[in-house]
Amino acid sequence: MYKVAFVSGASRGIGRAIATSLAKEGYHLGLVCRKNQKMLEDLAEDLRSVYHIEVLTFTGDVGDPSFVKALAEEMLAHFSQIDVLVNNAGISHIGLLTDMSVEEWDQILSVNLSSCFYTAKAFVPAMVQKQSGRIINISSMWGNVGASCEIAYSASKGGIHAFTKALAKELAPSRIAVNAIACGVIDTDMNGFLSVEERTALEAEIPAGRFAQPEEVAEAVLQVIKMPTYLTGQVISMDGGYI
């Protein structure tokens, strides 16, 4: 069966793992990243050759509504449908609220939260027309409880949770499921700033005793996609028991 998925933030980390898992399942893909064009193109070429799927790539800011509108139009013109939308793009900022600039606040809210609105606005009409679809928003445990010195990141992820629940209610009559996965500490470049000592201390705080691998998040995404559409509006915590 012909299946099409879109993944943002796909060049590395969680997004890359999700794209690879979807390719293994036979999905044709639209992939986007903000600046790692070479990395994204190399991934796309690997997925094409190994899994014999079509992959469209885009490089730009998903916090820019005109960019998202244009890429969605290109994808829908090429594939004629969209079955799965994965909003994974995200950036972080660590620092005191008083030291954070307005521009930094706006950028994090734009990339992390507004992008979910832009992609949904662009792709949902095609899902409604087909009366089927899955939207999965990759979020964070800090959207549930907040993290000190990560106020913008926490606010953006909390916004994603409310966005997920509200959109799920709106789209349930069209048999479109909308869910979020609130990730804990994942072993990606975003956590690469941690020293060995800091990483060891953090692992000791996590009941599971370790960071999760991006491939584990990708497996969770596949399982949510395969669930009945009656599972909708949920924020699924995947944090090793941390929160």
Do 218 and 14 touch, CB atoms closer than 8 A? Answer: yes
- CB 44, CB 16: distance < 8 Å: no
Burial of 66 (0-12, 13-18, 19+ CB in 10 A): exposed
What one-character DSSP code corresponds to residue 212?
B
The catalytic site residues sit at 153
- How crowded is residue 226: how many other Cβ atoms within 10 Å of its Cβ? 10
The rounded distance, in Å, linking the Cα atoms of 74 and 31 is: 12
DSSP 211: P
Closest alpha carbon to 122 in 76, 83, 163: 76
CA dihedral 82, 212, 207, 142 (to 10 degrees): -50
Inter-residue contact 119 to 68 (CB < 8 Å)? yes
Taking the C-alpha atoms of residue 72 and residue 77, their distance in angstroms, rounded to an integer, is: 8
DSSP 12: S
Question: How many Cβ atoms are within 10 Å of 37's Cβ, its own excluded?
Answer: 14
